[in-house]
């Protein structure tokens, strides 16, 4: 029976691509890509010639039913995003849910996800954590930060480099200047770094050093003591 395959792709270093992911993409009848231009670079590197089609947050509500019909008709379809595991702050959830409701088997390959290395590298407790993803840009942002402030577990937040300084300032104001955190950026890339300190220390550092690349903020829980 044909399936939907969710296939993770590297978040930085291309060498993080797994053998299994390469073989699955080669064997698929169609690859759904968040951005076909970005994904074509990956496919070219690993000599993958499977046809591609666009599947992203702007068209997924319109295309998911049609994709299900293709799978039910006998096509194996693989979904990839620009980087990381589909469904983690990227398109994937809606299509997976639609396929499951249609009785289609969904198989997810293990692979890269930015927040896992960031969490482990941070030095903060990783036995229990809360994944927040991207914060609301405007409406509900303050409320979400107030909720995060009360979390006793480690919180994981994705952020754009263009909003990082502002976000750290808001977090210091709402959560507390002395709350400990880590900012990890450029995971698995040449200029990967992880800065650790209080929210006010991190804010001051990135105010003086313009951040670049993908950002993961790892925030200590409410009762964490950095001793």
The pTM is what? 0.91
Say how far apart CA 227 and CA 115 lie, in whole Å: 24
3-state secondary structure of 45: helix
Structural domain boundaries of the chain?
3-108, 115-219
Residue 177 has what pLDDT? Answer: 95
Q: What's the DSSP call for residue 196?
A: E
Q: What's the DSSP call for residue 162?
A: T
Tokens linked to 101: 């409701």
Fold adopted by 115-219: 3.30.950
Helix, strand, coil tally for the chain in percent (to 5): 35, 20, 40
Tokens linked to 30: 């169609």
Angle between the N-to-C axes of helices 93-101 and 60-72, in degrees from 0 to 180, rounded to the nearest 10: 40
Residue 227 has what pLDDT? Answer: 59
Residue 138 has what pLDDT? Answer: 85
Say how far apart CA 35 and CA 206 lie, in whole Å: 30
Domain covering 3-108 in this structure, CATH number: 3.40.1010.10
Whether 53 contacts 91, CB under 8 Å: no
Which helix (H) or strand (E) is 106 found in, with range?
Answer: strand 105-108
- Per-10-residue mean pLDDT of the chain, 227 residues long, equals 95 95 98 95 97 92 93 97 93 95 96 94 95 92 96 96 96 96 95 96 96 95 82
């Amino acid at each position: 029976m044909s399936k939907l395959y969710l296939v993770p792709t590297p978040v930085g270093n291309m060498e993080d691509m797994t053998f299994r992911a390469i073989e699955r993409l080669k064997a698929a009848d169609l690859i759904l890509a968040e951005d076909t231009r970005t994904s074509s670079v990956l496919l070219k590197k690993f000599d993958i010639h499977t046809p591609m089609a666009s599947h992203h947050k702007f068209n997924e509500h319109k295309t998911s039913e049609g994709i299900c019909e293709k799978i039910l008709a006998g096509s194996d379809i693989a979904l990839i995003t620009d980087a990381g595991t589909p469904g983690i702050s990227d398109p994937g959830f809606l299509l997976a849910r639609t396929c499951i409701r249609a009785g289609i088997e969904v198989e997810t390959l293990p692979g890269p996800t930015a927040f896992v290395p960031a969490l482990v590298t941070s030095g903060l407790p990783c036995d229990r954590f809360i994944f927040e993803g991207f914060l609301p840009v405007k409406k509900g942002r303050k409320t979400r930060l107030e909720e995060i402030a009360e979390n006793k577990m480690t919180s994981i937040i994705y952020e754009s480099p263009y909003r990082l300084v502002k976000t750290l300032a808001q977090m210091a104001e709402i959560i507390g200047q002395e709350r400990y955190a880590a900012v990890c950026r450029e995971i698995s890339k040449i200029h990967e770094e992880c800065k650790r300190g209080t929210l006010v220390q991190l804010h001051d550092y990135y105010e003086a050093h313009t951040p670049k690349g993908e950002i993961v903020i790892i925030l200590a829980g409410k009762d964490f003591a950095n001793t």
